[in-house]
Amino acid sequence: MKLVEILQNEDVGKITSIKGLVTWFRPESYYTSKPWRGRKAEAGYGSIINQSIHTLDLIQLIGGKLESCKATLSNLTDYDIEVEDTASATFTFQSGVKAFFHATNAYTENSSVELQVITEKEKFTIKDSRLYFTNENGRKEVIEEDDRIPGSKFYYGMGHRILIERFYRSILDNTEDYVHIREAVPSMEMIEMMDRSSKEMGNAQRVKREELLHGTTSENRSTRVYAEETI
């Protein structure tokens, strides 16, 4: 990933903040055609697991080890579903990086995912399959642009196809060159922390990662055990 390469190897200063936005549209038929998508017991969550999980992946990849989260999970559509269609959260990482995240299925169209990273010296934005740098005059300059693959959905890029093909190659070549389940655990922790924060006393409460992993409530027990078994 070009942005990670720049952050790690170029003199841009420490990362101070990250922003991830996913504003998409899912009609009610999306849920009625496949009812499991709206059921808590089967889907687990809504927009944060089925639409914006990879934006959470990127926030965690860049931010590092998570410390705490404050979030709200809600429904802005009038659909008869048990899972959330909208989520907002702030994350604090052990590195001191702060992040803001917002995802919804209640918009009127599928806008491009936006990821912004601000460092002590620079500002970078990924949007519309392009990586931008904002210069000293406030103008955006394109650093890199993804290739467009026919049949891929422009608003979330071609990452699915690339990773699926990579997984198939790893099977054929008998290698481990694929995204392992243990690499998904940090993002699942983020989701569980968002859920717990949103449920606390009916209002958003800040939840620390250590509380999630070592607590005893039913909401976090499954994630804690899963993480311990897979990491």
Give 156's pLDDT tier (boundaries 50, 70, 90).
low
Q: What share of the chain is helix, strand, coil (3-state, %, to 5)?
A: 40, 25, 35
* Cα within 13 Å of Cα(83), Cβ side: 23
Torsion, CA 12, CA 15, CA 16, CA 22, rounded to 10: 110
pLDDT of residue 204: 64
φ, ψ of residue 125 to 5 degrees: the values are -135, 135
State CA 57 to chain mean position distance. 5
Q: Could you identify the residue written with the tokens 């979030």? A: 71
pLDDT of residue 225: 43
User: Which residues on adjacent β-strands are paired with residue 18?
Assistant: 99, 117
Give 231's pLDDT tier (boundaries 50, 70, 90).
very low
Average pLDDT over residues 178-197: 90
State CA 78 to chain mean position distance. 24
For residue 18, what are the CA distances in angstroms to 137, 151, 154?
Answer: 21, 30, 22
Structure-model confidence comparison of residues 129 and 56, the more confident one: 56
Residues 12, 46: Cα–Cα separation, whole Å: 36
Residues 120, 89: Cα–Cα separation, whole Å: 23
Encode pLDDT of 78-129 as tens digits: 999 999 999 999 999 999 999 999 999 999 999 999 999 999 999 999 999 8
- Cβ contact 230:181 at 8 Å: yes
For residue 190, what are the CA distances in angstroms to 48, 88, 124, 174, 217?
Answer: 10, 12, 23, 32, 16
Question: Which of 54, 46, 69, 31 lies closest to 211, judged by CA?
Answer: 69
Q: What is the pTM of this model?
A: 0.83
Residues in the chain: 231
With a cut of 50, say whether residue 218 has pLDDT above it. no
